[in-house]
Amino acid sequence: PLPPNYLLEHPFHHGHPGLRDEVAVSGVWERRDEVTIRNEIGRQFACSENIDIQIGRVLQKLEAMGELDNTYIIYTSDHGMAIGRHGLQGKQNLYEHTWRVPFIISGPGIPHGKRVPGNIYLLDVLPTLCDLAGIEIPATVEGKSFRPVLEGKQQTVREVLYGAYCGGTKPGLRCVKKGDWKLIKYDVMDGEVHETQLFNLAENPDEYLAQHQRPHVLQTNLADNPAFAKQRAELEALLYEEMLRLDDPYLLWDQPIEDAADDKK
């Protein structure tokens, strides 16, 4: 089936001409029609099936060696392709379908069949493995151990997630997520595109836009809805704070330059 948030084209230029999220790559990447998207999703499923088979072989070998119950196993990946979602094909975006990655872990002391909603970065994997193995976490490691989450002692080790894509025209895309709310900003194409998106992920996990014509009032971009001005203002401030904290080399079109210069002194 087609993705629920499929579109024939993205409503505005996302800022990286010539790559897979646009139309300059030859072959199927130039097309967004339903037949092409269905075929590409089928290929994605086939790749996932093959990966599953190969992981099964590894697990069988560990079991044959008697090491399966003494091994921490992590399944994760780089982020994938949009394949028709929001009218995009590649991965030059910050929607959930591309920003998120799979993450499954099993091993000694970790409950089976449990899912937690907390946030992590992949850079948190190393300190977590050190923590589980009783190894001192190096001082240079910036990640956080999420062992407390694995042991059910807390829901998350990160209340806020920050995302950036600046591989195309600058400054690029930035996003911040806290709780159910997520803000995405586009400052691209040499100032020709300035867009802001605000999503309630609890009610709109697929990040539907107006072009999807969903009936639910929360299943759209809420950035310009006065009823959610407070949420937008809070996330705008949080995004700015994260950009300064992480020494982002850019500021977006509507962020205060003077304050940023003072904070970075």
Measured between its terminal Cα atoms, the distance across the chain in Å is: 53
pLDDT of residue 142: 94
Amino acid at 237: A
Task: Decide if 243 contacts 251 (C-beta within 8 A).
Answer: yes
Per-residue pLDDT tens digits for 186-231: 999 989 999 999 999 999 999 999 999 999 999 999 999 999 999 9
| Ordered structural domains, the chain, with CATH | 1-115 (no CATH), 120-158 (no CATH), 159-265 (3.30.1120.10)
Q: What pTM value is reported for the model?
A: 0.91
Contacts of 253 (CB under 8 A, 6+ apart): 187, 191, 194
Spacing of C-alpha 28 from chain mean position: 24
Distances in Å between the Cα of 212 and the Cα atoms of 7, 117, 170, 179, 208 are: 7, 26, 28, 24, 6
pLDDT tens digit at each of 265 positions of the chain: 899 999 999 999 888 766 655 554 456 667 788 998 999 899 999 999 999 999 999 999 999 999 999 999 999 998 878 999 999 888 889 999 999 999 999 999 898 888 988 899 999 999 999 999 999 999 999 999 999 999 989 999 999 999 999 877 899 999 999 999 999 999 999 899 999 999 999 999 999 999 999 999 999 999 999 999 999 999 999 999 999 999 999 999 999 986 555 555 4
Strands 172-178 and 160-165: antiparallel
